[in-house]
A and B are shown apart, each in its own frame.
Chain A
């Protein structure tokens, strides 16, 4: 097999194989497990680096495997998949380091890291899926790989959260499956093609296509947490901190959002979708979700729950950028795929650190944490400011392009109020946290009771560095947005390719 045919498969295997081996490892072989984890993540980074370079120079990478007559499993690299693959690969490496530190000494680590690797494998498979069938396969695979992670703690609460998660995602998966099967019978193999494939098929019944679009979006909207399909997300926050971080930044919600992007751009074609009138529906759902999530976040005292509702709101920016016709909005939506991931993972790392070091789970307990944990709180601050959209953090860039896109396409009348309103709400639920953390007096004793002695730093290095690194990335993505290979430039490349074809 040549490199161009095997590279996508190798990228998949670089997390699948370590994952399967880790299942077999003895619980105590900590060093070997760590080596395997980091080795897999590093190899994946290198392979993805090769792929980025190749896709930029218009190389074709494709692995094809016939599963059933007329149904091919296709792994294919285009500009959009590379955007998502590099995000998941980078954040997997960081999260692995964090998880190794976080779970040190806790039971069932082999099981945890095994499923953790499978979860990343599924995400990368989604990113590289070259047709809708392959996407469905990995979409379901992701559901299965994530369930044990949500249930990991084994407490009744964790089991309940996992059950709710499963009920939503399996039902959503079924809607997606029916939509995909139906569309497959009408339009043949649904290879993802830049510019879409359905626009050229004039014999298709537009009403059938609208119904199929609805099925697909409902299926994808469950994972993307579009209101009213978002109910599982706040419950799933019972998972261990590294899982929440990955779930909210890369794996699950992003898989849904990425799927919406794929369906709109590379199956329907954004212009054809607009002519069917289905984009308006998607836009409305996204706008409602953005506002609803922010409003709900306001009233949450539990920190992870507040962050979860913030995710509900922020991920829909991607859907919003997709629903607004025009290259600038496309850029805004695509780049937010990366930006939201980097910022949200920072926030969840920080939340995990507060819980781990101080036993702080609630916003009302966060008085003065900035003095006790300045590094973590600095990272949290960067993430929060980015979510609000304050320059130079990356979130500003997303919102800027979404706003420009709305003006360009004439949708400003409803998009701008949504953007402004949500930014104000973001400020309203994040700024009080920052105020408490930095300016209030710390309590005499932290809720966790005993403070762990951690040496020189506020917390052990494996937990401190990941949020600092991702916070640095969030700033860098904003400051150097115009540099080559930055997320913004890459999103621009995607938009060029989507609209030129």
Chain B
């Protein structure tokens, strides 16, 4: 019994209510709740490191009847990442909204989003997950509409429709599971699921709902406009955290619950879709005319990589070989979370400073905003997958494992995706270094420029140089030690 797990959910919720009843002090509620949530996320991670996994049955009701919260290496790592990204983004947001109304609308919704996200990561049963998924989706839509431009509203309506469709598919799957097995608790289910039609149909329904929400090609059509038209702090959270939550659930279902019901072909199919996402998303990002649209398409591509991991993961022999791929997958997801949020925040600074984010007219940005440009470059390095970023090591492991299990198909996909990413990142930097207006101060607005830089440094240096700890955290049994000559 461990009461700690309630706090990453409860603290943002309390903050959200405070911000609602006390809009003039909403900034403080937001920052305070974010700091507190980060602190407890750190405690959860420390506990997971000691015990491998944690469980809390709320109110003492046993799972099956009551609600269970669980944390293991995967969920704790994502929890830590999301609360860190959320804090940095919140600090950025304190200086972003100049309109008092928007500001009053932003904080309660934002903290609700974080609440839903944390609850989703810690939930141990499928119905609870459905509820948090729905809540997450609604909060995300409301935040995406905050821009209040026509384009933002249109995108938000589409986002809402698609999100509801996804939830509906997921809920149908959950209903089937309950009809077939009489329980929704995931750890109980894991022992009961067999390779039979009921399990396949249920998994197919839930997975397709999640694929829509994670914007896997070709279900990505709603993402670029929704993410690109939202206010910058919202875009950062949507791209870095929200789509990843859906992917996290796919991972949970496929690896922990339905693993016995799966053949290799199913994972291969997701991998192929992922490959298309990598190429198509990177290409569209390269062709994008606006910085935020570029970042949104880049998310489509990076989500694709996560799905490319799946077939390699499931084809690797359980044990050390699979653990290596799994650690790399988590490392990739974490690095992308930090890098993408940094990129969106940086894009937000450029957008506010220049009044537009048209890439072709970014000349002089490197001179006017050196810190932000540097942050964009660092985040870009992680998006391409160059050393010393975490994605570099993750891609190395992905390619090595793909070669070992004989899935050569992914090698050219990864190569082409990385080169295209290089093209779109350096297209931005090329324009930013180009001739243009104005020499600004080295650091214009610390509260706006520093969060992006710090997130980018985490993605590029901290996760890269300390990557080995990610492996030892999420797959504790793995032998890490360097090979001595």
Contacts and interface: CB of A to CB of B under 8 A. Distances in A.
Interface stretch (A144-152, A267-275, A347-355, A357-365): A144-152
Given A70-B483, A185-B404, A191-B485, A154 B434 contact: yes
Given A140-B387, A141-B388, A189-B483, A67 B464 contact: yes
A68 B429 CA distance: 30
Contacts of A181: 396, 399-400, 403
Contacts of A144: 381, 386
B379 interface: no
Contacts of A189: 483
Contacts, number: 98
A167 B384 CA distance: 13
A210 interface: no
Interface string A161-198: 01100110011011001100110110011010000000
Contacts of A191: 485
Contacts of A151: 430, 433
Contact of A68 (B374, B393, B479): B393
A473 interface: no
Contacts of B400: 181, 184-185
A174 B422 CA distance: 11
A188 B324 CA distance: 15
A26 B479 CA distance: 47
A66 B393 contact: no
A148 B430 CA distance: 9
Interface string B354-388: 00000000000011001000100000010010111
B387 to A, nearest CB: 4
Interface in B404-423: 404, 411, 415, 418-419, 422-423
Nearest to B384: A170
Interface residues of A, number: 45
A154 B396 contact: no
A159 B483 contact: no
B426 A163 contact: yes
B469 to A, nearest CB: 10
A174 B399 contact: no
Contact of B468 (A69, A154, A171): A69
B482 A66 contact: yes
Contact of A140 (B386, B393, B423, B471): B386
B135 interface: no
A170 B483 contact: no
A501 to B, nearest CB: 14
A71 interface: yes
Given A69-B468, A69-B480, A174 B433 contact: no
B478 interface: yes
Contacts of B481: 66
Interface residues of B, number: 45
B467 interface: yes
A67 B393 contact: yes
A155 interface: yes
B53 interface: no
A72 interface: yes
A111 interface: yes
B435 interface: yes
Q: Which of A67, A138, A174 has the most CB of B within 10 A?
A: A67
A416 interface: no
B468 A66 contact: yes
Given A68-B471, A69-B471, A159 B433 contact: yes
Interface in B194-221: none
A71 B393 contact: yes
A69 B479 contact: yes
A182 B403 contact: yes
Contacts of A154: 366, 433-435
A449 interface: no
Interface in A15-67: 23, 26, 64-67
A280 interface: no
Contacts of A166: 422, 426
B471 to A, nearest CB: 5
Contact of B415 (A23, A159, A174): A174
A212 to B, nearest CB: 11
Contacts of A162: 430, 433
A200 interface: no
Contacts of B467: 67-68
Nearest to A70: B483
B465 interface: yes
Contacts of A71: 393, 396
Nearest to A76: B485
A366 B44 CA distance: 72
A168 to B, nearest CB: 11
A137 B464 CA distance: 11
B483 A137 contact: no
A156 interface: yes
A137 B388 contact: yes
A88 B412 CA distance: 35
A138 B388 CA distance: 9
Nearest to A141: B387
B172 interface: no
Nearest to B426: A166
A254 B66 CA distance: 66
A72 B388 contact: no
A203 to B, nearest CB: 15
B327 interface: yes
A155 B483 contact: no
B405 to A, nearest CB: 10
Interface in B63-82: none
A144 B481 CA distance: 30
Given A137-B387, A154-B434, A178-B415, A68 B468 contact: yes
Given A151-B433, A191-B485, 13 more contacts: A66-B482, A67-B393, A68-B397, A69-B468, A69-B479, A108-B367, A141-B388, A147-B426, A154-B435, A156-B434, A162-B430, A173-B386, A184-B400
List 9 tightest A-B contacts by C-beta distance, closest first: A137-B387, A66-B482, A72-B482, A170-B422, A181-B399, A68-B393, A189-B483, A185-B403, A151-B433
7 contacts: A65-B465, A66-B480, A67-B468, A138-B387, A159-B433, A174-B419, A177-B399
